[in-house]
Structure 1
Amino acid sequence: MPDKKEPEESDEGELVNLSQLAAELGVTRQWLHSLRTKDPTFPPSRRRPGSTREFWDLAEARAYYKGRELRPGERTDLKPPAEQ
């Protein structure tokens, strides 16, 4: 099996794939995929000529993740039960 590739350096900065980005941000790959498909402000991916693989600039993605608006879910355990 091939070893996991290290993040690559480029003119744009450190480029990482989705799995590496999820690990760097401390979230799951599935949640990050959901976030990037639902949030139009998620940083765009970059592709090398002739490749279908997507990479993200790590610094750009960290800045987005740190600055995004958090919208936690509503706590239902603190509400009294609904009367019937």
Structure 2
Amino acid sequence: MPDERAPDPVDEGELVNLSQMAEELGVTRQWLHKLRTTDPNFPTSKRKSGSTREFWDLAEARAYYRSRELRPGERTDLKPPPAADA
């Protein structure tokens, strides 16, 4: 007899938690959390039925991460040290 369970309402693709997403993207979990809380374009999380944990569609997260604007920091190692006031 086939399995007659109702399909999971969140059946988008491969769902991963924040730690797994960080590992897949090659960044830290803390960095993703910062992006998540400051960037309104960060993909919305999904919840599996009966769970309070947040999950993200990995394909959606990869597309977001590749398309975001990169803003590298200023290199301070190339600047001369500040002049000492005498």
Short-chain TM bin:
0.7 to 0.9
Question: 1:1-80, aligned counterparts within 5 Å?
Answer: 11-80=11-80
Structure 1 residue 13 displacement after superposition: 0.8
TM-score when normalising by structure 2: 0.77
Task: Name structure 1 gaps, 5 residues minimum.
Answer: 1-9
Structure 1 residue 38 displacement after superposition: 1.1
TM-score when normalising by structure 1: 0.79
Please report the RMSD computed on the Cα atoms of aligned residues, expressed in angstroms: 1.5
Q: 1: CA distance between counterparts of 2:64 and 2:21?
A: 12
Q: 2: CA distance between counterparts of 1:21 and 1:72?
A: 22
Identity of aligned residues (%): 80
Task: Name structure 2 gaps, 5 residues minimum.
Answer: 1-9
Highest Rg: 1 or 2? 2
Structure 1 residue 77 displacement after superposition: 1.9
